Amino acid sequence: MRKLAFVLGGVAAGGMAALLASSEAGPQAQQQAVAVADSVRAPVIADSGSLRGPRQPIFFRHDIHSGQYKIQCQYCHYSVAVSPEPGIPSVQTCMGCHLVIGGTDSTHQAEIRKLRQAWNEKQPIEWVRIHYLPRHAHFPHQRHIKALGPNACATCHGEVQRMPQVFKVNEVDRMGFCVTCHMERKVSRDCSVCHY
């Protein structure tokens, strides 16, 4: 019972901190996000609501993980080179680091607390999906990594390492986007390559 109260308390405090922070640094943060370079420290952003892309249950910062700390995409998206599916990291993968890393400032700490709570409650995090194809199209990630190299992610997903909140850069769910690239690279455009 004491433990539960502690967790709940933590969430409440985090929520308040986020609210306070949002009133101060909303629009500026977004401008900063665009300006941030790979080597530059990612800005502190308290409110994800004004950023592009759908709001996620946890304000996971690709710009911090992938941009600032240069963690390879494949560290979390572990199956992208071997499977049609890129692999969404399990909560355990997140906790591998965040068991120790609690965040440098209050806004980060609040989000990491949400993660830890999910882990303690054995509840997976329901991310809002951004890139998805209709069910009648098959996209083998591994073939594209093989052809374009391990850092090819940006070809379709854009510069995720600069995005505080991920949004769709390309119309990956439109066939024209696929076919344009296939034409440029002179690879198969046969329907049955993807549709079966």
Residues engaged in binding other proteins (CB under 8 A) = 52-55, 78-79, 82-85, 87-93, 119, 122-130, 132, 134-138, 140-143, 146, 168, 173, 188-193, 195-196
Instruction: Please report how close the Cβ of residue 117 comes to other proteins at its closest, in angstroms.
Output: 13
- Tell me how far the alpha carbon of residue 61 is from its chain's centroid: 7
125: tokens are 């995090």
Instruction: Please report how close the Cβ of residue 3 comes to other proteins at its closest, in angstroms.
Output: 19
> Between 69 and 127, whose beta carbon lies closer to other proteins?
127
Residue pointed to by tokens 């303690």 = 120
Instruction: Please report how close the Cβ of residue 79 comes to other proteins at its closest, in angstroms.
Output: 5
Contact indicator for 105, 112 with CB cutoff of 8 Å = no
Instruction: Please report how close the Cβ of residue 85 comes to other proteins at its closest, in angstroms.
Output: 3
> Between 98 and 168, whose beta carbon lies closer to other proteins?
168
**Residue 195 Cα distances to 136, 149, 175, 188, angstroms:** 6, 24, 11, 13
> Between 32 and 182, whose beta carbon lies closer to other proteins?
182
> Between 17 and 125, whose beta carbon lies closer to other proteins?
125
SS3 63: helix
CA-nearest of 50, 66, 59, 80 to 140 is 80
Integer Cα distance of 44 and 40 in angstroms: 12
**Residue 15 Cα distances to 74, 154, 165, angstroms:** 31, 33, 18
Give 77's contacts (C-beta < 8 A, 6+ positions apart): 86, 87, 88, 89, 153
Instruction: Please report how close the Cβ of residue 58 comes to other proteins at its closest, in angstroms.
Output: 12
> Between 41 and 55, whose beta carbon lies closer to other proteins?
55
> Between 25 and 125, whose beta carbon lies closer to other proteins?
125
Instruction: Please report how close the Cβ of residue 102 comes to other proteins at its closest, in angstroms.
Output: 20
